[in-house]
Structure 1
């Protein structure tokens, strides 16, 4: 028993020493189980392979006094080989299977139930796609067709897949810039309907949110919902003060179902981006990311309440002609939202009502576009999902916007940049448009600006010349040009273009002949005229003066210091080639790698020369002193070479993770 304990203790000590030495020499941290594995294997190779081979000349006999020094040297060389063998295994392992490619062992059994549920749901989605003949699209074996049959199959598959996929289809039904007309028509048929939860359950959720019985807050609460969808349902109610409100109640478990399906959508998006050309051309990864962000905000009603309050203040400030409901934050939480009730009919079914009231669809659509652009250019907060289901025709013939679960925000600088982009488009000025796009992004290192300007000029000549009929597909081509030249548009501006693409579906629903680009130009001209008014110019000058005043205050002191330094002959200019710490570290790392590579090569050449010397002192009958020194030098060369390889395989990934 004592012998076994001593053996185990010795093995543990040797394993620790080998792992520590290999880690220190490579200057890389590896997982514990990987270090233990390579340490045990390297010791086994040394103990059962290398040592018996080196000591074979002794035939198991005790070395003589003359041979003792050589035996000790060989034994030391053998045990030094253990960390080197471990280092070789670690470097090869890192090259073939990098750290992080496989989850840690301790996490393999965590969340098994959640992974099983996700896998079951993933297989269910794939089965639905296969049942409707869409599996070939997922694998890239078929292209997205133009006919109504495939469009109908896609609509049925999304409908079968449930709430999250239905909402994805509803959003895609407004993206005329991405999908053919047959798909737009089919996806517009998707209805997000669900069996309502019992009125008693809804009342309990409301009471939990407001912290009081329903009767103490509402003079009337209708237990029958006005509408029921998969995420929430809406009840009509009246406060004790007489104000009509709607109560939006989230379904129990809706947030968990959305998260599960968003994970599936993200995986499918990566699959389509990797295996299909049509998926990459539609930027399915960007669509999936934007959809996930919007849907997560939609299931959290505190986000919508905050958005409603901010939009209402902005509307009141400029006296907007479009109505938005006012929230009651004191009666709301993340699962319940109480807000003002707007009396009207959904825009999607308002066609007969427009005719009855004698309303012209063109002016109504123009007012909606003006409202959207006012939100973007003046308020800096806008409805990011203005599809027909979120619009009402109110009883007073105005338009009403609802469902502010997802909004976009632009600061003053981004609004000015968007104004510059729209002005350049209106003037068909390619260089100005290129400067506007470059101004809102990090300039690529190898940008061919002349080619970029020519591409934008050709784009505008193709889509915006007199006599052409511009459509929303031009946004798709514009984004392709931007992506080709690696111009990174801020996500806030990308949200504006997505909202305009979605809004086009609403405008077409009101007036099928509505020309978005022409109307947007007229609105842009009105903005330009407003900026040229004396009051606007005065405000602009006041803002610029306020920004410039701190600089002007410091300018006399700085000029005096410069003049004094010049008079005393102390005026100098410093130029620091590597002023950034990151640049200095990168240069240092490169120099270290080059130096280690040169030293490793030199040591390797010297070791080969020493091993080839057959004369000189002998350690054993078969190994001379020079050969032993050559082997030791070869180990040193191997260590330096492995250190360089470890840097190559691991340090770039470490820098990327740090960024």
Structure 2
């Protein structure tokens, strides 16, 4: 077990590496605001990419200072940062690519190109990991195991093998030591997230620690191949009665947390299909219907359906693989998605606004008038376009961007779904270049409307509301009794929150403190003058009273400039120092 001292030294070295990589790729503004250089005892480095005149002393960190004027170039540099920092950060980038509510579109597009730049493991390492993971000799489990990997990624490698009964399988082998490395990097990420929250107030909406917590949950799930096996089987059960959809079988006797053995399915890659062909259009219809079923009926969907994770058999059966990232939606969340789709199709501004508010969590007071105005602008932009030319993914991104602008934090499940849906839309447009996505999706929209407003659904809503209202009415007497008891005992207090009143309190507190310091300084000066009045001692020919007077004058002058600086910086900029995030910096998870 690594000692705390060694772990701390290792963490500092890693932080220094991260700071250097950020600076090297033109993100020293972020490193500077976080204070990484000062924290690590390094001199502040100039950013070779800061050509746009960003002010290092600026009180706020706006988008241009973080990303620069050319966001596409900044997105490419950000991708290179993640690739250079290794597997954990590559996976973080892949998770962030599912969050259009956090990153600009240019970054979402660039992060799709993240590559796991990792060397392949030797066959000896693979064999040792298989025997450790399965608890026996490799020959006892596999009649044949191909040494050359089919694919290599940051988490593991995939090899083709044959079971003793002759069935061909794919064996996914986890990289030795990757779990410990990722846990160590997670500690660093938590530290950086807390440092961001403590030093850069503008990131409050993005909640870095919540993002790292979400990433931690996702990557630890991906490190447990038993959970991926469960995801594959659940998906298989959901589509057991559906034609043209298939998933590989999992062999549990040859599967553990580090080893996953699945059926080998001989099929073509989706990218090999000729766009516009009869076969491609049939596959397109299958993909669209499978997405609707996953999201709006099962509430369990493939979170990363890129072309590499979709295969096509000769009979056009679609095969989904790699279930490390999945998403889940509750029934209420499914209803919210249906509401959003229907309100977007009908151009209902009020409906879109209400649905977005229900789907997210406002981080402050939302100006509904301005929010609806932004939604109307987006609607009018797409209303002027031909239905066949509308990019649904782009439309969804703009709507989510409006929610982000008005400080509405969208639930992460919707963000993962948004990314998956945009990926599927991109695949569909490649399969049918002249695709009219609205015309293709209209029959499904009618089904969704019929489902959302079916008699059973309406009756269920009426029953639920009636039960809720009944419970509310029954609780009124008890709640009133409690209120009366609190009034009689004096325990009832009413808190009125008003920003103007809060500012008055802060101003009076600051003013009182300054007046108090001024009185203390004046009192010290008068007391010293009285005490020194009777002394006639001299130092190097100068009376002590003169020396004391000069010292007191210097102290008073220092206090004056300090108070003036406090007034300018603290009063004008109202910089807020939050103590709790700094305390959390030193608390390891």
CA deviations 1:146-178 (Å, max 9, x no partner) are 9xxx99x99x989997986999799989x9x94
Which one of the candidate residues 577, 596, 610 is aligned to 2:494?
577
Contact 1:137-1:144 at 8 Å conserved across structures: no
Which one of the candidate residues 404, 416, 432 is aligned to 2:323?
404
1:466–1:259 distance in 2 versus 1, CA, 3 Å: same
Partner of 1:508: 429
1:257–1:401 distance in 2 versus 1, CA, 3 Å: same
**In the alignment, is residue 652 of structure 1 matched against residue 564 of structure 2?**
no
Contact 2:273-2:280 at 8 Å conserved across structures: no
SS of match in other structure, 2:268: strand
Q: Where do 1:249-268 residues align within 5 Å?
A: 249-252=173-176
**In the alignment, is residue 555 of structure 1 matched against residue 473 of structure 2?**
yes
Partner of 1:69: none
1:196–1:657 distance in 2 versus 1, CA, 3 Å: closer
Partner of 2:519: 602
Contact 2:267-2:311 at 8 Å conserved across structures: yes
Which one of the candidate residues 315, 328, 337 is aligned to 2:260?
337
1:610–1:603 distance in 2 versus 1, CA, 3 Å: same
SS of match in other structure, 1:110: helix
CA deviations 1:161-203 (Å, max 9, x no partner) are 7986999799989x9x9459xx99xx98x99798865555434
Q: Where do 1:258-657 residues align within 5 Å?
A: 298=222, 300-316=224-240, 319=242, 321-351=244-274, 359-465=278-384, 467-468=386-387, 469-471=389-391, 472-537=393-458, 540=461, 544=464, 549=467, 552=470, 555-556=473-474, 558-559=476-477, 576-578=493-495, 596-608=513-525, 618=534, 652-657=577-582
SS of match in other structure, 1:246: strand
**Partner Cα separation in structure 2 for residue 606 and residue 511 of structure 1:** 85
**Partner Cα separation in structure 2 for residue 655 and residue 264 of structure 1:** 19
**Partner Cα separation in structure 2 for residue 466 and residue 602 of structure 1:** 70
* Cα displacement (A) at 1:488: 1.6
**In the alignment, is residue 223 of structure 1 matched against residue 146 of structure 2?**
yes
* Cα displacement (A) at 1:603: 3.4
**Partner Cα separation in structure 1 for residue 186 and residue 267 of structure 2:** 33
SS of match in other structure, 1:600: helix
**Partner Cα separation in structure 1 for residue 404 and residue 96 of structure 2:** 23
Contact 1:193-1:228 at 8 Å conserved across structures: no
Contact 1:137-1:143 at 8 Å conserved across structures: no
CA deviations 1:478-505 (Å, max 9, x no partner) are 3332232222222221222122222233
SS of match in other structure, 2:136: coil
1:310–1:195 distance in 2 versus 1, CA, 3 Å: same
**Partner Cα separation in structure 2 for residue 564 and residue 603 of structure 1:** 49
* Cα displacement (A) at 1:392: 0.5
1:157–1:440 distance in 2 versus 1, CA, 3 Å: closer
* Cα displacement (A) at 1:453: 0.3
* Count of matched residue positions in the alignment of Structure 1 and Structure 2: 496
TM-score between the two structures when normalised by the length of structure 1: 0.58
**Partner Cα separation in structure 1 for residue 157 and residue 182 of structure 2:** 16
**In the alignment, is residue 235 of structure 1 matched against residue 155 of structure 2?**
no
Contact 1:331-1:338 at 8 Å conserved across structures: yes
* Cα displacement (A) at 1:307: 2.8
* Cα displacement (A) at 1:335: 2.8
**Partner Cα separation in structure 1 for residue 360 and residue 82 of structure 2:** 39
Unaligned residue ranges in structure 1 (runs of 5+): 1-105, 128-135, 270-279
Q: Where do 1:26-175 residues align within 5 Å?
A: 110-111=9-10, 115=14, 118=17, 122=21
Unaligned residue ranges in structure 2 (runs of 5+): 27-46, 53-67, 194-202, 538-542, 585-589
SS of match in other structure, 2:246: coil
**Partner Cα separation in structure 2 for residue 223 and residue 505 of structure 1:** 34
1:550–1:263 distance in 2 versus 1, CA, 3 Å: closer
Contact 2:307-2:427 at 8 Å conserved across structures: yes
Contact 1:214-1:221 at 8 Å conserved across structures: no
1:617–1:213 distance in 2 versus 1, CA, 3 Å: closer
TM-score between the two structures when normalised by the length of structure 2: 0.64
1:296–1:516 distance in 2 versus 1, CA, 3 Å: farther
Contact 1:245-1:341 at 8 Å conserved across structures: yes
**Partner Cα separation in structure 1 for residue 482 and residue 405 of structure 2:** 52
1:485–1:313 distance in 2 versus 1, CA, 3 Å: same
**Partner Cα separation in structure 1 for residue 259 and residue 526 of structure 2:** 81
